Structure 1
Amino acid sequence: MRRDVFQAIADPVRRDIIELVSNDTLTVNEVAEKFEISRPAISKHIRILNECGIIEISQKGRERYCQIQPKNLIPAFLWIEQYKSLWEDKIDSFENYLMKLQTKNKENE
């Protein structure tokens, strides 16, 4: 099965794993210790992240290390970025509405 970055970020556990390894290279065991789900479940999430190219796994002795590959998150960033102006417009419109309400309430006092 071909996987992509959107499959990687679709699951909240995988997003949490991405956040963890974005700060530091961790072993699979260190990642698993941060969650209250089974080690096989974490391994499956890590495998999917690896297949999507978000995490690279390297073997050093007996340990397998997870390292973030941030450039592979760019497609998701670019997709989200295209909606930034839409969100900003909606937030600005809501802020203007609230300011009008406040002004109206002050006038009625």
Structure 2
Amino acid sequence: MPSDALSTTFAALADPTRRAILARLSDGAATVGELAEPFEMSMPAVSRHLKVLERAGLITRGRAAQWRPCQLEAGPLKDATDWLEHYRRFWEQSFDRLDDYLKELQSSRAPKKKS
């Protein structure tokens, strides 16, 4: 099991079911039953996914009578985004250099105008 928070976040995000659950929670709090509806899996399987998300700090579970609504916690997602930002800038700079190179190639191959 990953030991640092960022690794735990990425491990939780590695599963498409957990990403779908987070996407649903971005619309607002939901019960376990509501989160389970779109998936063809048992309630215990959904609960295991929720436990992974909860351990990663991506969701919290409250108490409202007999319901335990889940809520998105965006802090770990911000940390992951901040870490990825460095690499986004790297790729943008690489694409900018490639674009400049391609423009240079195109201009050197353009037919010369006769005077």
For 1:101 and 1:35, the matched residues in 2 are separated by 51
How far, CA to CA, are the matches of 1:103 and 1:13 in structure 2? Answer: 49
- Kindly provide the amino acid, as one letter, of the partner of residue 34 in structure 1: P
The number of residues matched between the two structures is 108
Rounded to whole Å, the distance in 1 between the matches of 2:64 and 2:25 is: 17
Report the counterpart of residue 53 of structure 2 in structure 1: 49
Please list the CA deviations of residues 33-76 of structure 1 after superposition, one character each: whole Å capped at 9, or x if unmatched. Answer: 02223222111111111111110001211211110111122221
1:68 maps to which residue? 72
Matches of 2:109 and 2:24, distance apart in 1:
47
From 43, 59, 63, the counterpart of 1:59: 63
* Structure 2 counterpart of 1:21: 25
Given the superposition, is the C-alpha separation of residues 59 and 92 from structure 1 closer, same or farther in structure 2, using an over 3 Å criterion? Answer: same
CA distance in 1, matches of 2:20, 2:102: 35
Alignment of 1:5-16 (within 5 A): 5-16=9-20
- The structure whose residues are more often strand, as a share, is 1
Change (3 A) 1:105 1:15: farther
**Structure 1 stretches of 5 or more lacking a match?**
none
Give the TM-score taking structure 2 as reference length: 0.75
**Larger fraction in helix:** 1
Structure 2 runs not aligned, ≥5 long: none
Say which SS state the counterpart of residue 11 (structure 2) adopts.
helix
| Distance change (3 Å), C-alpha of 1:97 and 1:69 | same
Alpha-carbon distance in structure 1 between the residues aligned to 2:47 and 2:80: 23
**CA distance 1:60–1:91, shift in 2 (3 Å):** same
